[in-house]
Chain A
């Protein structure tokens, strides 16, 4: 056997072994994926409901919330191309809208929010679901990082709407509004406050339209002013 054929042989053998390993371990991953897929989907839904429960009490609605939604084409909600809005109903009547909004202008980029607005136009809760704000400085917008456990910053939106507080006052105090912020970390608070106000404005304008559509549809409002 000359050296050239032996090189070819060794190459072919190692290639086959590598291929075998790839097939076996890809198979292992495929198997794990197919076994866990349904359980993962269930736990993701469960986790989402627990998150929703933080902004809207589970007793406030009786429909299958995660299966009752519209996707709104609304840049003011901070998401491209669409923002998902879940519709909470009780006894078939509109109870609240749970909006996946975002503030594009955090100190370190996008801040993802979950905002629940009851049918009477008041905010029942706001939570930051994702952010990259500075640890120990701007991250008090996240209730888990807020050191004020008695009255966390994010809870000051609870229970009020445009009827209780004029739309022009939905700003941080530094901008002439009525919401607190922590000095040295105004940007994070301003971003969340403004995004909450945008969401509230959007919901106030389009509540009926949002509730009327069949689930899973797209909601593209006509521009109303700016």
Chain B
């Protein structure tokens, strides 16, 4: 099956942007990554099994493209994370602190944390998206949580 681009765009644009930003830490690079992901969906005449399959594919492609973006010298990096954060309106100061703490995690923990806490994926599903073993995902999730707990103290529950 395939879904119309417009439908996917409306449903997942925000999620893909958040995932791309999570890896790139830069708004313009993240937008380029999301644009490129939709171009790839548009160019590739692949049939999918279900909408969940499309969603996972879009996220995987977005994350891979964002990682590639980090490795190229084309990164624009016009605005630092700190400067960009000043343009964001967090609902509470605690939200801003959590955002900053999460974005300052090492990349390999950051994206696993994001897929678990933002996208509600299970360890098994994250392993499939990132092409990692489940045990590897568990370790990254656990270390990411520990670092968040260390930084946020009582603002972050122990939910191992």
A and B interact: no
Residue positions of A touching B, CB distance < 8 A: none
